[in-house]
C-alpha cells in the first residue's frame, strides 16, 4: 500500500513524474487538473462548473474539488494505493483528505515536492503554451497560477513537513534525471 502526494508549482513537472512513478509502483496517478480538463472537454455539469476557474488560473472551490476526490478515492483501483498530482492544494483539502483516509484506515505515506525556480517555470509553461493549447497557459494566467500556488499551496509543505512526510527534490534537468530522483525519494518514503 502506497499513498504518495506529488507537490510543486505549475510547470514543475508533476504530471510527467506522476505518470512515471505510478507506472513503476503499479498504482493509479490521480490528477485533479486532468480530471477537470476531461470534464470540461466532455461538457459535463462538473466541467461547466469548473471551466471558468481553470481559464482564470483560480482554484476550483474546495466543495467541488473535495466532492470529486471523495468519489475518486472510493474506487476499487485505489485499494493498493495511489498517487495524487495536484491535490491537496488548500488547507481545507488537507483536512478532507486526512478525514477521508482515516475513514478507510489509511494515511499519506509521503509527499514529494518538486522544486524549480520561478523564471524556469514561466519559460516551461510558455513553451508548453506554444505546443499544448491549454486554455490556462498564457502569460498573465501563468503568473496568476504561480501566485495562487505560493499563497494557498506552498504553506501545505510545512504542514506535511511537520509530520515528517516531505522529501524535496530538484525538478530541473532532463525528465529521466528527475524521474530517478523522484523514484529514489519515493522508495525512501515508502520504507519510512
Ligand atoms: P498546474 O499545476 O500547472 O496549474 P493542474 O493541471 O494541476 O496544472 O491544474 C490546472 C487547474 O485545475 C488549476 O489551475 C485549478 O483551476 C484546477 N485544479 C486542479 N487541482 C485543483 C485542486 N486541488 N483544487 C482546486 N482546483 C484545482
Rounded Cα–Cα distance for residues 54 and 60 (Å)? 7
Q: What is the structure's pLDDT at 132?
A: 82
Torsions phi, psi of 128, nearest 5?
-65, -35
pLDDT-derived band at 191, boundaries 50, 70, 90: confident
Atom of ligand 1 nearest to the CA of 85: 7
Q: What is the structure's pLDDT at 131?
A: 86
Number of domains the chain contains: 1
Torsions phi, psi of 137, nearest 5?
-100, 70
Q: Per the structure block, which three cell numbers stand in for 74?
A: 472510493
Closest CA to ligand 1's atom 18: 33
pLDDT-derived band at 192, boundaries 50, 70, 90: low
* Cβ 39 under 6 angstroms from ligand 1: no
Q: What is the structure's pLDDT at 50?
A: 97
* Cβ 9 under 6 angstroms from ligand 1: no
Number of other residues whose CB lies within 10 A of the CB of residue 66: 21
Q: What is the structure's pLDDT at 174?
A: 93
Number of other residues whose CB lies within 10 A of the CB of residue 76: 6
Taking alpha carbons only, the member of 42, 97, 44 closest to residue 67 is: 97
Q: What is the structure's pLDDT at 133?
A: 82
Q: What letters, b where the CB count within 10 A reaches 16 and e where it falls short, cover 172-185?
A: eeeeeebbebbbeb
157 SS3 class: helix
* Residue 97 to residues 71, 104, 164, 168, Cα–Cα distance (Å): 12, 11, 17, 21
Mean pLDDT of 100-127: 95
CATH number at residue 176: 3.40.50.300
pLDDT, mean over the chain = 95
| Strand 2-7 with 29-31, pairing | unpaired
Atom of ligand 1 nearest to the CA of 57: 14
pLDDT-derived band at 65, boundaries 50, 70, 90: very high
Q: pTM score > 0.85 for this model?
A: yes
Residues classed as catalytic: 14, 89, 128, 134, 145
CB distance 129 to 15 below 8 Å:
no
For ligand 1, the distance from its centroid to the CA atom of residue 78, given in whole angstroms, is 21
Show Cβ contacts of residue 96 under 8 Å, excluding neighbours closer than 6 positions.
62, 66, 69, 70, 88
pLDDT 10s digits, 12-30: 999 999 999 999 999 999 9
Residue 144: domain span: 2-191
For residue 87, give the H/E element and its range. none
What DSSP character marks residue 75?
S
Amino acid at each position: 500500500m502506497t499513498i504518495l502526494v506529488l507537490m510543486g508549482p505549475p510547470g514543475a513537472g508533476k504530471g510527467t513524474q506522476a505518470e512515471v512513478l505510478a507506472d513503476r509502483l503499479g498504482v493509479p496517478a490521480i490528477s485533479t487538473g486532468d480530471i477537470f480538463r476531461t470534464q470540461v472537454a466532455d461538457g459535463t455539469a462538473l466541467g461547466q462548473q469548473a471551466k471558468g476557474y481553470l481559464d482564470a488560473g483560480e482554484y476550483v472551490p474546495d466543495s467541488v474539488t473535495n466532492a470529486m476526490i471523495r468519489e475518486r478515492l472510493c474506487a476499487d483501483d485505489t485499494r493498493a494505493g495511489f498517487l495524487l498530482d495536484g491535490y491537496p492544494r488548500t488547507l481545507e483539502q488537507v483536512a478532507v483528505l486526512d478525514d477521508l483516509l482515516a475513514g478507510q484506515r489509511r494515511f499519506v505515506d509521503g509527499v514529494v515536492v518538486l522544486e524549480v525556480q520561478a523564471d524556469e517555470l514561466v519559460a516551461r509553461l510558455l513553451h508548453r503554451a506554444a505546443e499544448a493549447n491549454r486554455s490556462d497557459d498564457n502569460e498573465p494566467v501563468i503568473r496568476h497560477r504561480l501566485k495562487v500556488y505560493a499563497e494557498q499551496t506552498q504553506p501545505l509543505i510545512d504542514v506535511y513537513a511537520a509530520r515528517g512526510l516531505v522529501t524535496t527534490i530538484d525538478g530541473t534537468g532532463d525528465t529521466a534525471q528527475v524521474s530517478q530522483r523522484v523514484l529514489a525519494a519515493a522508495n525512501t518514503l515508502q520504507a519510512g
